[in-house]
Amino acid sequence: MGGFKTREWSSTLQVWSPSDLSGDDRELLHMAHEAAANAYAPYSQFQVGGAVRLVDGTVVVGSNQENMAYPSGMCGERVAVFAAGAQHPGAVMTAVAIVSPSPKALADAFMPCGACRQVLVEAERRQGQAMRVILQVREEDVMISESALNLMPFAFEAKGLGASGASAQSSD
Supply the angle between the helices 23-36 and 76-87 in degrees, to the nearest 10: 110
Report helix, strand and coil shares of the chain as percent, to nearest 5.
Answer: 30, 20, 50
Give a yes or no: residue 136 inside a domain: yes
Which residues have C-beta within 8 Å of that of residue 122, sequence separation ≥ 6?
155, 156
Give 162's pLDDT tier (boundaries 50, 70, 90). low
Tell me if 117 sits within 8 A of 152, measured CB to CB.
yes
Active site residues: 77
Give a yes or no: residue 2 inside a domain: no
Give a yes or no: residue 166 inside a domain: no
pLDDT exceeds 80 at position 62:
yes
Total of domains in the chain? 1
| Length of the chain as a residue count | 172
Q: What is the CATH number of the domain that holds 65?
A: 3.40.140.10
Give 163's pLDDT tier (boundaries 50, 70, 90). low
Residue span of the structural domain in which 113 resides: 26-151
| pTM of this structure | 0.88
pLDDT exceeds 90 at position 7:
no
Give a yes or no: residue 81 inside a domain: yes
Q: Is 111 left (phi over 0), alpha (psi -120 to 50) or beta?
A: beta
Give 171's pLDDT tier (boundaries 50, 70, 90). very low
Give a yes or no: residue 156 inside a domain: no
Amino acid 90: pLDDT: 94
